[in-house]
């Protein structure tokens, strides 16, 4: 029997890109750039922003999603019930945005970094609002970012007020599909607006709930004039990983790798075991104590899934 190739379209379907998601419908960009509101059929795979889809035009000028095409990556988080919630599809880069005050939480950054490593997505750390740093707080921020530079991860200090770092960040993102993540109010939407072509991103719009808050409520994809796309996502206070195993947690801390062969026990978890090279590397400062603390916390979490679910 002949297999239908995934690139072959049914006669009346068109290719499209999901640029926004509203629950019961999605906004799909057609090949000519026009955007159509598309409905989902019952029991179909739920599309995510960044997904390539096949869709059909209806008489009322809306569309129906026929099929979600295979993804090259899917960034997701875990919810309180151990379920996986998708954030964005087909991303090459995850931009982890933080800003003062209070600068950032290493635990949050490290969770995103584990996700990035497991999905083989390139992470970039951005400390935005650099204009708000005085000499002392700048020094403190640099010290806390240093372990990440050493691993090495790309770290960019940016400001939409002074335009510092924007060109550097733009260079990293050129031609890529990137998702911006991080807490609310750090400047994700502002960065996208600054890098984009001034396309109306609603920053400064007052949200229905918080007085004077300009919060993004739906994930949305924007094209960059210089090529590439940026996905804006609503801010989060926490990022929970989907249910990862202890082995996967370890894979997420890539700077540990060079020490693993030195451990006394082959099944060493690098937590309490004697003769552990990872613990020794942490003690001698070759591995950051903060990164190691994040590792311990995530190992504990991975261990708890076994009993919970």
Ligand X SMILES: Nc1nc2c(ncn2[C@@H]2O[C@H](COP(=O)(O)OP(=O)(O)OP(=O)(O)O)[C@@H](O)[C@H]2O)c(=O)[nH]1
Sites of contact with Mg ion (CB under 5 A): 188-189, 216
Distant-in-sequence, close-in-space partners of 52: CB < 8 Å, separation ≥ 6: 15, 16, 17, 18, 68, 69, 90
In the complex with ligand X, the residue whose CB is nearer, 15 or 234, is: 234
In the complex, minimum distance from the CB of residue 207 to ligand X, in angstroms, rounded to a whole number: 8
Cα-Cα-Cα-Cα dihedral sign, residues 71, 77, 79, 80: positive
Candidates 132, 151, 271, 293; binder of ligand X (CB under 6 A) is 132
138 near ligand X (CB under 6 A): no
Alpha-carbon distance 65 to 169, whole Å? 34
- Give the x-and-dash track for 163-202 against ligand X (CB under 6 A): ---------------------xxxxxxx------------
In the complex with ligand X, the residue whose CB is nearer, 132 or 293, is: 132
In the complex with ligand X, the residue whose CB is nearer, 132 or 280, is: 132
Measuring CA to CA, which residue among 46, 50, 27, 37 is closest to residue 231?
Answer: 50
18 near Zn ion (CB under 5 A): no
In the complex, minimum distance from the CB of residue 119 to Zn ion, in angstroms, rounded to a whole number: 25
In the complex, minimum distance from the CB of residue 76 to ligand X, in angstroms, rounded to a whole number: 18
In the complex with ligand X, the residue whose CB is nearer, 18 or 186, is: 186
Site for ligand X in 203-222 (CB under 6 A): 203, 214-216
In the complex, minimum distance from the CB of residue 142 to ligand X, in angstroms, rounded to a whole number: 17
221 near Zn ion (CB under 5 A): no
Distant-in-sequence, close-in-space partners of 119: CB < 8 Å, separation ≥ 6: 73, 74, 75
Candidates 30, 161, 260, 280; binder of ligand X (CB under 6 A) is 161
Candidates 276, 282, 298, 302; binder of Zn ion (CB under 5 A) is 276
Q: What own/partner pairs with CB < 8 Å and gap ≥ 24 does 68-76 have?
A: 68/44, 69/6, 70/6, 73/119, 73/120, 73/121, 74/48, 74/119, 75/115, 75/119, 75/121, 75/179, 76/242
Alpha-carbon distance 92 to 176, whole Å? 6
282 near Zn ion (CB under 5 A): no
Which of ligand X, Mg ion, Zn ion, none is residue 293 near (CB under 5 to 8 Å by kind)?
A: none
Which residue's C-beta sits nearest to ligand X? 235
Whether residue 59 contacts residue 39, with contact meaning beta carbons closer than 8 Å, is answered with no
Measuring CA to CA, which residue among 207, 226, 223 is closest to residue 215?
Answer: 207
Measuring CA to CA, which residue among 229, 230, 226, 222 is closest to residue 27?
Answer: 222
Candidates 278, 287, 298, 302; binder of Zn ion (CB under 5 A) is 278
Alpha-carbon distance 48 to 55, whole Å? 14
- Please report, as ranges, the residues that interact with ligand X according to CB under 6 A: 128-129, 131-132, 159-161, 184-190, 203, 214-216, 234-235
């Amino acid at each position: 029997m002949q297999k239908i190739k995934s690139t072959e379209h049914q006669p009346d379907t068109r290719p499209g890109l999901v640029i926004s998601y509203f629950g019961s419908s999605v906004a799909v960009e057609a090949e000519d750039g026009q955007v159509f509101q598309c409905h989902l059929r019952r029991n179909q795979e739920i599309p995510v922003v960044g997904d390539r889809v096949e869709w059909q035009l209806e008489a009322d000028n809306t569309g129906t999603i026929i099929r979600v095409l295979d993804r090259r990556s899917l960034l997701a988080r875990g919810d309180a019930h151990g379920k996986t919630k998708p954030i964005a599809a087909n991303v090459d880069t995850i931009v982890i945005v933080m800003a003062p005050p209070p600068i950032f939480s290493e635990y949050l950054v490290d969770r995103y970094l584990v996700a990035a490593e497991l999905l083989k997505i390139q992470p970039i750390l951005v400390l935005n609002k650099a204009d708000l740093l005085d000499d002392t707080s700048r020094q403190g921020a640099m010290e806390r970012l240093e372990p990440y530079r050493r691993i090495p991860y790309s770290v960019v200090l940016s400001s939409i007020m002074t335009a510092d770092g924007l060109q550097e960040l733009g260079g990293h993102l050129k031609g890529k599909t990137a998702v911006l993540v991080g807490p609310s109010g750090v400047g994700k939407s502002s960065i996208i607006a600054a890098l984009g072509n001034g396309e109306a991103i609603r920053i400064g719009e007052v949200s229905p709930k918080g007085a004077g808050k300009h919060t993004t409520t739906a994930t949305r994809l924007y094209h960059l004039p210089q090529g590439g796309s940026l996905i804006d996502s609503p801010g989060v206070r926490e990022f929970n990983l989907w249910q990862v195993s202890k082995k996967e947690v370890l894979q997420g801390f890539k700077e540990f790798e060079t020490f693993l062969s030195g451990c006394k026990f082959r099944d060493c978890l690098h937590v309490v075991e004697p003769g552990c090279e990872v613990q020794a590397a942490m003690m001698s400062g070759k591995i950051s104590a903060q990164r190691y603390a994040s590792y311990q916390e995530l190992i504990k979490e991975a261990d708890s899934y076994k009993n919970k679910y």
